[in-house]
Amino acid sequence: MMSEADTAYIAGLFDGEGSIYFAKRIEKKKKHKGKGYRTSMSQRISMEITMTDESVVRWTHEVLGCGTVVRKPRKGLRKDGTPYLMQWKWRCTFRDAYYVCLLLWPYAHTKLPKIQQIIDHYATQKLRSGNGKVINLDEYREKKTC
């Protein structure tokens, strides 16, 4: 269980260094069999924090318990001729992003409209099990860890 201080710190970190992507759009995709393309309604939901301090990014990943951490090398040199520092990126998508949004919502300011958009999106979704149940985050997290 995350402490309130950790949650508030990550919300502030995310407000300053994070980004949220939420989009619903029609995409053109290759057909599975044969030639040609098909169109379908697609959704993209992701959250990320990118910064040069690896320890903070890894700590965020550890505390939240979801997402991935990757190196994000930068090529080239700054105007003064020094190389760019290595960047580190924590990223989560879809239902993990929903989980993180629920945690950060009480503390977020800058990213609150996008966080609310993701929460609203999942609050109206139904599970595919056919029982008409709204997504239960605890059940989702439990099944994910199995």
Q: Are 65 and 105 in contact (CB under 8 A)?
A: no
How much of the chain, in percent, has pLDDT values that exceed 70? 84
State the Cα–Cα distance between residues 29 and 112, nearest whole angstrom: 32
Please give the model's pTM, rounded to 2 decimal places: 0.75
Q: Are 51 and 88 in contact (CB under 8 A)?
A: yes
Residues 6+ apart with CB under 8 A from 37: 28, 29, 30, 31
Q: Tens digits of per-residue pLDDT, 55-80?
A: 999 999 999 999 999 999 888 888 99
Q: Which has the higher per-residue pLDDT, 1 or 74?
A: 74
pLDDT higher than 70, residue 134: no
In this prediction, residue 20 has a pLDDT band, given cuts at 50, 70 and 90, of very high
Q: Tens digits of per-residue pLDDT, 33-62?
A: 777 888 888 889 999 999 999 999 999 999
Q: Tens digits of per-residue pLDDT, 82-91?
A: 989 999 999 9
